[in-house]
Amino acid sequence: MKIKLYKRPGKNKKLINEMKIIIDELTGIWFTKHVGQSFYIDLYYQDVFVLYNKNKVKSFIIFTCIDGCITITLFATNNEDRNKGYGSILYKSFEKYCIKNGFKRFLLQTKPPEKFQNYNSTISFYEKHGYKVTKVYKELWENGAIQMEKNINTKNRKICTKIL
């Protein structure tokens, strides 16, 4: 296994094509069609952590920094490789990298499990990694969204000390 950081990989066609295969297979299950269309643009402005196994993309995290907080904008694992620990391995490496670079606060938004049953496992995954639901948005996306947050230190410091 190998984990690699790509900084704004919008022109990396090989990587984009491999990520698109995963997004396409998850569209309708976890993602809407909008995700498969917008991620092309996102990759010109956001970074990606990728987990490879046997030189194949197995899992990836697209992220950015908003208001001094690391914000995960998309996290996906190849459907056939779910529940093999790839997501946790990738997430732990990603978090370690972010903390090393001075970030103490992590945010993400996802679909509410009350409306989408399969998102119970998404929420459980993030809770297992220390996230808590901090906000519910009824007006976002088609059926609302929830915000989850993780603060590394107990003082809930909101400004990062070092920029990537």
Q: Where residue 93 sits, what CATH number does that domain have? A: 3.40.630.30
**Would 62 be classed as within a structural domain?**
yes
Dump pLDDT digits (tens) for 27-72: 877 777 777 678 889 999 999 999 999 999 999 999 999 988 999 9
Residue 156 lies in a domain: no
In a domain, 161, yes or no: no
Classify residue 33: in a domain, yes or no. Answer: yes
Q: Within a domain: residue 158?
A: no
Of residues 16 and 144, more confidently modeled = 16
- List the domain range (segments joined by +) for residue 140: 2-151
pLDDT, tens digit (0-9, with 9 covering 90-100), for 64-122: 999 889 999 999 999 888 889 999 999 999 999 999 999 999 999 887 777 666 777 88
Instruction: Indicate whether 139 pLDDT > 80.
Output: no
Number of structural domains the chain divides into: 1
- The answer to whether residue 157 is domain-embedded is no
Report CA-CA distances (Å) from 102 to 70, 130, 154, 159: 10, 18, 15, 9
Asked if residue 76 belongs to a domain, the reply is yes
The rounded Cα 34 to chain-centroid distance in angstroms is 16
Examine residue 137 and state whether it is found in any structural domain, yes or no.
Answer: yes
Residues 70, 98 contacting (CB under 8 angstroms)? yes
| Distance from C-alpha of 25 to C-alpha of 53, rounded to nearest angstrom | 18
